Amino acid sequence: MTKTVLLVIVLCLCMIGCELAPIPSPQPSPVPSATLTPPVVPTPPDIPPIPHAFYGRVMIHGLPAPVGTTILARGFNVRENVPGNPLVTIADGKYGGPWGLEPKLVVQGHIADGTLIEFYVNGEKANCKTPSTLAWGDDYPFQAGDVTQLDLNIP
């Protein structure tokens, strides 16, 4: 059959009352309801504060500590056995130095400012003081980012 004959048959059927299947009308799709769930925000990693660095003189029983003396800092959350803590002396009577490239005793970890730090010389607890203080103390407060001249003494 030709296309024309088919078209005529379809038109005739429509005129005599034959119903063709209705064409469904498009139905609106359901709209999702809004939720009040807050977005998940990743938390940043817990970053420790900037270290506190120390250098100064070190005496053992009234004499300058010899080359090879080990200086260690201890305190709550202080990391030990990491680069900079302990520090081994490379000159008699001093540990580290004030200039940028000189080594320093580096106190680092998740340490709150004001946490008391103790110092050990060859495993013995040392007294400490800054050049501006007269009395020797047992410890020194941590201050993130500071570089402190702190003299150490084993009486």
Where do the domains of the chain lie? 52-154
In the structure encoding, which two tokens stand for residue 33, read together? Answer: 């309801």
Distance from C-alpha of 10 to C-alpha of 104, rounded to nearest angstrom: 98
Determine the pLDDT at residue 47.
85
Whether pLDDT at 13 is above 60: no
pLDDT at 154: 97
Report the 3 state secondary structure along 88-109.
Answer: ECCECCEECCCCCCCCCEEECE
Q: Over 50: is that where the pLDDT of 7 sits?
A: no
Taking alpha carbons only, the member of 145, 141, 148 closest to residue 115 is: 141
Q: How far apart are CA 107 and CA 78, in angstroms?
A: 6
CA dihedral (70, 75, 81, 82) in degrees, to 10, reads -110
Please report the pLDDT score of residue 10 as a whole number: 45
Q: Is 132 exposed, middle or buried (0-12, 13-18, 19+ CB in 10 A)?
A: exposed
Q: CB-based burial of residue 145 (10 Å sphere; 0-12 exposed, 13-18 middle, 19+ buried)? A: exposed
Compare 43 and 130 and report the one with higher pLDDT: 130
The answer to whether residue 19 scores a pLDDT higher than 60 is: no
Q: Residue 86: is the preceding peptide bond cis (ω within 30°)?
A: yes
pLDDT digits (tens, 9 = 90+) for 95-127: 999 998 999 999 999 999 999 999 999 999 999
